[in-house]
Amino acid sequence: LRPITENIPKPMLDIGGVPLLERQVQRLAKAGLKRVYLSVHYLSHIIEEYFGDGSSLGLEIRYLKEREKLGTGGALSLLPERSDSPIIVMNGDILTTSDFGSLYAFHQAHSAEITVAAVDYRINIPFGVISNEGPYVTGLAEKPSQRFLCNAGIYAVSPPSLDLLPY
């Protein structure tokens, strides 16, 4: 996204008049979350000045300041305290309408340590696909599709998994 992101972090890009990250934080607040941790690094002052303490959005925002890029899992190592219940983790640069409550309920119902939200992605092949063994045709699939579950960048993580992070 350069040169656009030279002066603004990607999560703060304007989408329909509202920064991408604000859309996410609003959805988290609507889902009933009371506290949100934002891991910040590149141009972090822009995010911190924009959101402040989060009270204008009806929740508490705290900042995890990365001295160097730590990635999604690494940023969790900066949490100041351990939660007694699972937490929702998501990348700051995704646009989603995911139901965080459903993700949490699924995670709890399956007693999972980590739940990864997935996007169902299909690739449609516009031709007949031939299966073969050497020079012999063993099958013909007319215009098949392949299905992949792809990481959506949203997770539910239980406390025992958080304990595995180095500090």
Active site residues: 143
Compute the distance between CA of residue 140 and CA of residue 63 in angstroms, rounded to an integer: 55
- Tokens, residue 14: 């304007």
Specify whether the CB–CB gap between 62 and 33 falls below 8 A.
no
Compute the distance between CA of residue 117 and CA of residue 151 in angstroms, rounded to an integer: 6
Nearest to 113 by CA among 63, 160, 56, 60: 160
Intra-chain end-to-end CA distance of the chain, in Å: 33
Compute the distance between CA of residue 118 and CA of residue 29 in angstroms, rounded to an integer: 22
Nearest to 96 by CA among 148, 57, 153, 40: 153
Using only C-alpha atoms, the chain has a radius of gyration, in whole angstroms, of 20
